[in-house]
Amino acid sequence: MKKVIVILLAFLMLLMLFACNNNAPANSSGVSASQSPSQTPSQEPSQPTNQPTSQTPNETPASTNTPDATAPTDIAQESWEPGYYNPAVDYTKNPRYKIVYMTDTMGALQQQGSVAYAAWAARANCDYSDFCSNGDDDLFLSTIELYAQQGVNGLILDPDTTIWSRVDELCNQLGLPYMPGMSEPADSDGNRLHPIAAFPNGQYGVEMANYVINYQRQNWPDANPGEIGMVSTTVSFIPPLNVRTVEAQKIWNQEFPGNEDHFFIADTAALGAGLDSDTGYNATSPIFAAHPEIKYWLVCASMDDYAEGAARALEQANKDQNAVISSGGGTTLINHWENGDESCWKSAIYTAQPLFCEGAFFGLYALMHGEATPETLWPEWIDHSTNQKYAYVLLPYFIIEKDTYIQYLAFIDKFTGMDTFGFANQWDGTVFPTRNTPPASYAG
């Protein structure tokens, strides 16, 4: 249960994005959106390979490393450095590395990540496969040793967070380079064990809260503040998720002074911390039922499944017409739009999987190829203010709505040149952030 939660981050999806004013930049990390239709990724994820071997059915074919002809030539590229894909490099002149993505849970998010890693592996002339331990920590650890014996060159890892210290120690003993995927590597004291490219979780809470408050002011401008309530879902014992609720509550208190008691926390820890929509429903529906004085509900859902459950709870309580939901994630919301489903779930903080996976994949490539060490990878992203030793790269995001998400996905398809979502030919020239600037506080 704990394992699945961390992997979700990311959604987690990481996937994801910030702002409150339509069509206005939110900050250096994200962009705001208006609304838009949807499409699911055109590429089907590979199935997890449960028997580790040096050659697996999931391996990618050899790559010619020819830049995709659909990739835009008029998008300004950042200066290239270790840890990022460089289209000017002929990766066929480098060794052909064997890379495996290992996860303890193979849900939809992990499957989509595997698709993106496979695509980047083809771009970088690498062999690729994935492996799922199905929640067996001992199998996860023993398989790392087996892969080392089989000559695998590097791993992308999403283990149960409780075994990160053992995973890190084992990889170091084996001399096997690795990068975390969505699961943040830290010891029992919270100290970072390795560099990672991940989500700015606190800002997720800020952006979700700003979005739903802005939505209320645009759509129900005459609502009495005493009749408005905010619900934030969380798993209290998972800090990267819980900080979203903490930051959302700060925004609520700033924007609705005197109504602090109308902020409600739907903590699924007491319900077993399941990551499914039923858990989201069970955590939120009692809150809606217990407060008939609240006529307008603003919901900040830490993940898609909880958003889905909250939307169902509001619909069954006949409160969905005066409700709005924003979530961290977005993939499930896109699927709903693609299927023609409409609900009070209106937006998500989203980072497209190819962009999310670039950092983990090419961070690993830099380690395997000797371009960097864990201590020197992304040096500008090391937070010296908290005495960290390893980088924490904050990924860019976009607030997707029904009328704008295709515009974003089309840009991702063009920028990566992979047409993952099938929208490359719909790119209208709009450019979105592909990297962030480290916060000034990182300097210490």
Q: CA 438, 382, 12, 358 torsion: positive or negative? A: positive
Residue 417 banded pLDDT, cuts 50, 70, 90: confident
Predicted pLDDT of residue 81: 85
Q: Which residue has the tokens 């249960």?
A: 1
Q: How do residues 107-153 score in pLDDT, each as one tens digit?
A: 777 888 999 999 999 999 999 999 999 999 999 999 999 999 999 99
340 and 390 part of one domain: no
335, 350, 365 — which closes off a domain? Answer: 350
105 and 210 part of one domain: no
Closest by Cα among 393, 349, 406, 307 to 210: 349
Residue 38 has pLDDT above 60, yes or no: no
181 and 207 part of one domain: no
305 and 437 part of one domain: no
112 and 94 part of one domain: yes
Q: In the chain, what percentage of residues exceed pLDDT 70? A: 82
Q: How do residues 334-347 score in pLDDT, each as one tens digit?
A: 989 989 999 999 99
Q: Interhelix angle for 137-149 vs 164-174, to 10°?
A: 10
Please report the DSSP string for 71-117 in residue order.
S-SSSPPPPP-TTS--TTS-GGGS---EEEEEES---HHHHHHHHHH
Strands 178-180 and 154-158 turn out to be parallel
User: Coil, strand or helix: which one is 35?
Assistant: coil
Residue 86 has pLDDT above 60, yes or no: yes
Q: State the average pLDDT for the chain.
A: 84
250 and 160 part of one domain: no
The lowest-confidence range among 182-186, 347-351, 367-371 is 182-186
Question: Rounded distance, CA 327 to CA 307, Å?
Answer: 6
Higher pLDDT, 314 or 272: 314
- Distance of CA 40 to CAs 15, 44, 332, 335, 422, Å? 15, 10, 9, 6, 9
Closest by Cα among 299, 303, 309, 285 to 228: 299
- Distance of CA 381 to CAs 18, 34, 375, 411, 437, Å? 20, 31, 11, 25, 9
Q: How do residues 276-292 score in pLDDT, each as one tens digit?
A: 899 999 999 999 999 99
319, 350, 381 — which closes off a domain? Answer: 350
309 and 370 part of one domain: no
175 and 320 part of one domain: no
Predicted pLDDT of residue 30: 44
252 and 276 part of one domain: yes
219 and 344 part of one domain: yes
Question: Rounded distance, CA 183 to CA 204, Å?
Answer: 17
103 and 244 part of one domain: no
Number of independent structural domains in the chain: 2
Asked if 72 and 427 touch (Cβ cutoff 8 Å), the reply is: yes
Residue 69 has pLDDT above 50, yes or no: no
The pTM of the full predicted model, rounded to 2 decimals, is 0.79
Structure-derived torsion over alpha carbons of residues 343, 280, 201, 242, reported in degrees to the nearest 10: 150
What CATH code is carried by the domain that includes residue 328? 3.40.50.2300
Q: For residue 136, report the phi and psi dihedrals to the nearest 5 degrees.
A: -95, 105
Full domain range(s) for residue 129: 2-199+353-443
- Which helix (H) or strand (E) element contains residue 148? helix 137-149
Predicted pLDDT of residue 79: 59
208 and 192 part of one domain: no
326, 350, 374 — which closes off a domain? Answer: 350
Residue 24 has pLDDT above 50, yes or no: no
Strands 196-198 and 178-180 turn out to be unpaired
